[in-house]
Amino acid sequence: MAGNPLDKKSQAWSALFSEPMDALVQRYTASVGFDRRLWHADIAGSLAHARMLAAQRVIAAQDLADIERGLQQIGQEIEAGRFEWKLELEDVHLNIEARLTQLVGDAGKRLHTGRSRNDQVATDLRLWLRDEIDAIAALLAQLQRALLAVAEAHTDTVMPGYTHLQVAQPVSFAHHLLAYVEMFARDAERLADVRARTNRLPLGAAALAGTSYPLDREAVAHELGFDGLCENSLDAVSDRDFALEFAAFASIAMVHVSRLAEEIVLWMSQNFGFVDLPDRYCTGSSIMPQKRNPDVAELARGKSGRVIGHLMSLLTLMKGQPLAYNKDNQEDKEPLFDTVDTLAATLRIVAEMVGGMRVKPEALRAAAARGYATATDLADYLVRKGVPFRDAHEVVAHAVKLALARGVDLAELPLPDLRALHPQIADDARDALTLKGSLNARAVRGGTAPAQVRVQIERHRQRLTGN
């Protein structure tokens, strides 16, 4: 067996190079420090490629057997932490290939037939991301189920609904939580869409133009569980739009998480007092003994910033690149890895935090009773009596002014005073002014009436559990 050219990496790609790589350049260009994370996908991709090469009689059956044995051992070495990653070997691909040749000789050197690191890395990244997508889909479902469980217990819990963060109309607390379930359900749809376009095979594109070997790309795709092939070799090795899409999905999901986290922070403050979080999700202050801070919620809100930043990094990374592969693409990994890690950790912890949240129905109800949340209901009452809406609106504005001046709620204004504002107001106006009456009245599909909210909960439950 001849020597292993990868042992001296300055000669790895060609004898053309007459001087070794500068040490600084080596450190600057190496990616093995982070892309070793792709090792599992790299081995899976190499196995599928080798099996296809043997089936196509490009390599011998014995070569395949050697490659399989070698890659299996390498997998074990990496898993056990015994694999020696070498910076000189630049990236995960060359590290594994060099070790393979060290273990099995010439068969290892035949593995790269009809392949380039350009289609190899694109394949690895797609394989890796596909599995992460599946894990994140499960976490998104978990978060939705956690919200749904709290919602189920609070269909009849009234809270103030806000616009402009001013008390607007009473809503069911469950309805409020279901708004987030809708957001995360759409995120899950987006993620499924990203998966479909991620799960296509670049291998066979080789460096950029395809290859002259009789590769069976369909067989490789089938073995690796890809749904289809990248149909243009230049595009296959160069575009990373699947990563951009993923980062866009992740940014939107993190923005949704951030909004929820912001509400939890508000709700937990003394000024709202709507919910309490268990101590295990809070921290104290080193100087103010009375403090319990909702750090987990604040961090979930804060971490949306870095995920959005990664989306910007990836977009910017791509925008100036001519076809086909450019080394710029090596910079796709760290933002993508951190996006996956940040999103997964955030979804997991927020689901747990929501599950542990203690809701205070009395405080929610009391807040809804302040702020004249049922003013619209009094206007609607007058409309039902035949008063044009704009006139009714005006009458109620006067009622609110009166209530404000006396420091009472609308429902506490004596009937004669209300009738003085409009003769159509009768005894039954009281019902319209209660929080319960207000809630029940909004029974339109998608509205906050508890009966409607229960329908929505059931729909989500069936979607999320299949029963």
When asked if residue 172 is in the footprint of ligand ARG (CB under 6 A), the reply is no
**How many Cβ atoms sit within 10 Å of the Cβ of residue 222?**
14
CB of 335 to ligand ARG, least distance (A): 13
Residue closer to ligand ARG, measured from CB, 35 or 377: 35
Query: How many chain residues bind ligand ARG (CB under 6 A)?
Result: 9
By CB under 6 A, tell whether 46 contacts ligand ARG: no
Which of 357, 447, 432 is closest to 171 using CA atoms?
A: 447
Residues numbered 353-412 forming contacts with ligand ARG, rule: CB under 6 A: none
Range in contact with ligand ARG (rule: CB under 6 A) among 116-124, 224-232, 244-252, 312-320: 116-124
Q: Which SS3 state, helix, strand or coil, does residue 351 take?
A: helix
Q: Dihedral of the CA atoms 48, 49, 54, 56 (nearest 10)?
A: 110
Residue with token string 């809701």: 359
Least distance between ligand ARG and beta carbon 330 (Å)? 4
Q: Provide DSSP, 113-151.
A: TT--HHHHHHHHHHHHHHHHHHHHHHHHHHHHHHHHHHH
Tell me which of 4, 31, 169, 346 binds ligand ARG, using CB under 6 A. Answer: 31
Nearer to ligand ARG, 216 or 235 (CB): 235
Q: How far apart are CA 241 and CA 246, in angstroms?
A: 8
14: its two tokens:
């060609």
Binding piece for ligand ARG, criterion CB under 6 A, among 1-9, 115-123, 226-234, 269-277: 115-123
Residue 422's nearest CA partner among 397, 447, 459, 445 is 397
Structure tokens at 212: 């002259």
Given 99, 112, 115, 117, the residue binding ligand ARG (CB under 6 A): 117
CA 436 to CA 16: how far, in whole Å?
82
Task: Tell me which stretch binds ligand ARG (CB under 6 A): 113-121, 181-189, 293-301, 303-311.
Answer: 113-121
91 part of the interface to ligand ARG, by CB under 6 A: yes
In terms of CB distance, is 35 or 263 closer to ligand ARG? 35
CA 313/CA 325 separation, integer angstroms: 18
Both structure tokens of 129:
């991301």
Give the footprint of ligand ARG on residues 311-340 (CB under 6 A). 327, 329-330
User: Which residues are designated catalytic?
Assistant: 164, 285
Interactions with ligand ARG, residue window 411-430 (CB under 6 A): none
Residues of the shown chain interacting with ligand ARG in the complex, contacts defined by CB under 6 A: 31, 35, 91, 117-118, 121, 327, 329-330
